[in-house]
Structure 1
Amino acid sequence: MPRRLVLNAQKLDYGDAEQVRLLLTISDVTEARISEKLKDDLLREKAILLQELQHRVANSLQIIASVLMQSARRVQSEETRGHLHDAHNRVMSIATVQQQLAASRLGDVELRGYLTQLCQSLGASMIHDHDQVSLAVTADDSSVNADISVSLGLIVTELVINALKHAFPGERSGKILVDYLSRGQDWTLSVSDDGVGTPQSLADAKPGLGTSIVEALANQLKATVDTAGAHPGTTVSIVHTVSDVGGVDPAKVA
């Protein structure tokens, strides 16, 4: 196998203009070049496999969502149909989060663009009349790693689904606002609506699956969940305070 050599010449200055001295070094970089090429090949193969995995995940989620929707059309029970529709919406929300992350660059995720694109996808698939119900996003310049962005994205989709399901009964119009604000290492993610609010009967009822999912994701982020009346409407806030979690900061703020 041919070897790769690097020749380096450096002039030595001893103050003698008549005699020029050179220091020559020869380095064998064959193994280093082979290792570098192997690393590049592995990274390229990893990128191809990751892309293939993303396609397979997206296709699988679409198949599951289609099966759930077909099942919802066939069943006679309204309660069962409602549960199947809820399951379909959750699968689609996961698919939306996966799609947004696949489209983003590796590394930290800029939240304003991520949440905006996420809510645009949610609105396109779940809001039938955009003149009746609007969905908007406000966020600062924060960035978080991919794992944190997945949890935040799933929380947003669960809360948006819940607002669309309960806040605007009948032909009631309204607005949903998703907001993210950070102060140092502390941050707050909130989803607000100006709908009918939470009836006392629902407030006293056992928490549903969506609430359990949001609370579990908030626990992973070492954050708390706060629900308050917005008069009109409801605001659900996910609050992370470093002083409350022993200095642990799961989110990196740019």
Structure 2
Amino acid sequence: MSVLSPASSGLPEGVLLRELHHRVTNGVAFAINLVAAAAIRVEGTEAKCALSEVAELLQGYADLHRTLAMPAGETLIHAATHIRKLGCGIRRAVLDRMNIQLAFATQSLALQPQRCWHLGLIVHELVMHAARHACFDARAGQIRIKLTRTGALVNCVILDNGSRPAREASDRELRIARDIARALGGRIEQGFGAEFTSIVLSFPLTERERGANWSIATRQMRAPRRTRATAPNDAAPVSCRAADALGGLLSPSHQMDAP
């Protein structure tokens, strides 16, 4: 009888990751069903509400987990759309319950599937890091994601209006995010102020991505610009942001908008 060595299994890493993701998804779905069934059986309004909230929380994490799945295929992915979808998942699952607002400023950016996935993993970790460790004091919590491209360089900035002391001991938690950034050929840097903290991910585009993004930029320059009417409620968030510390760090050409 021949014995196969572990190295001879021939399973690509992506297959194992997708299988693990599938099992976690099924496990969370099973837990949601159990909690939902218990909410139906239990007596008392307070108990029913508590179990329903647990089921809703688990559903939010399940949706977020699906967004973090490793993509299949080789087609380039619209990174801004992916980051916004991911951010909305984080907001529903975590930030809403912590009373933390999330806003975006993103440019069109095409990335290869695995690299876009890596970007999403980093953004998820950095946003969760900010939510866990930011010291907002009496301020309303705000986290902002800014995704831009300058030539062949991508910058993704995670800004929050929390102060520094609460997170000095948390830098070790960014170790995995830094490792993923190195896999992108990039790096992560942090900045601190009296009422803000920023984490910047920078990485270069590949040759394929540079060509695709050059084509996108060319089409956008040739397309006629349409003037968008400003709704009455659009003006309020902008005026409120102008005075805060984070607003000064953002380019005026990239208006932040909530998901």
Fold-level similarity (TM above 0.5): yes
Query: Are 1:98 and 2:66 an aligned pair?
Result: no
Q: Which amino acid aligns with 1:180?
A: L
Number of residue pairs aligned between Structure 1 and Structure 2 = 171
Cα distance change, pair 224–191 in 1 and its aligned pair in 2 (3 A): same
Q: How does 1:60-99 map to 2 (within 5 A)?
A: 60-63=23-26, 94-98=65-69
Q: Quick one: structure 1 residues 139 and 235, their matched pair in 2 at CA, closer, same or farther if it must change by over 3 Å?
A: same
Matched, 1:112 2:80: yes
1:138-180 superposed Cα distances (whole Å, 9 cap, x missing partner): 1111110101111100000000101111115677522111111
Q: Greater relative contact order (Cα 8 A, min sep 6): structure 1 or 2? A: 2
Q: Secondary structure at the residue paired with 2:189? A: strand
SS at match of 1:156: helix
Residue 35 of structure 2 corresponds to none
1:37-90 Cα offsets, whole Å, 9 max, x none, are xxxxxxxxxxxxx9xx96x65541235668999xxxxxxxxxxxxxxxxxxx99
Residue 194 of structure 1 pairs with residue 165 of structure 2: no
Write 1 or 2 for the structure with the bigger share of helix: 2
1:217 counterpart (164, 176, 180): 180
CA RMSD between the two structures: 3.8
Change (3 A) 1:173 1:64: farther
d(CA) in 2 for partners of 1:181 and 1:149? Answer: 14
| TM-score (norm. length: structure 1) | 0.56
Instruction: Could you tell me which runs of 5 or more consecutive residues in structure 1 were left unpaired when the two chains were aligned.
Output: 1-49, 70-88, 243-247
Structure 2: any 5+ residue segments left out of the alignment?
A: 1-13, 33-59, 217-259
Change (3 A) 1:67 1:155: farther
Structure-2 residue corresponding to 1:158: 125
* Greater Rg by CA: 1
Identity %: 17
Report if aligned partners of 1:218, 1:224 keep a CA contact under 8 Å in 2.
Answer: yes
Corresponding residue of 2:199: 236
* CA shift digits 1:195-217 (9 cap, x unpaired): 1x221x743x4743x31111001
Between Structure 1 and Structure 2, which shows a larger proportion of strand residues?
A: 1
Counterpart of 2:103 (choices 136, 156, 168) is 136
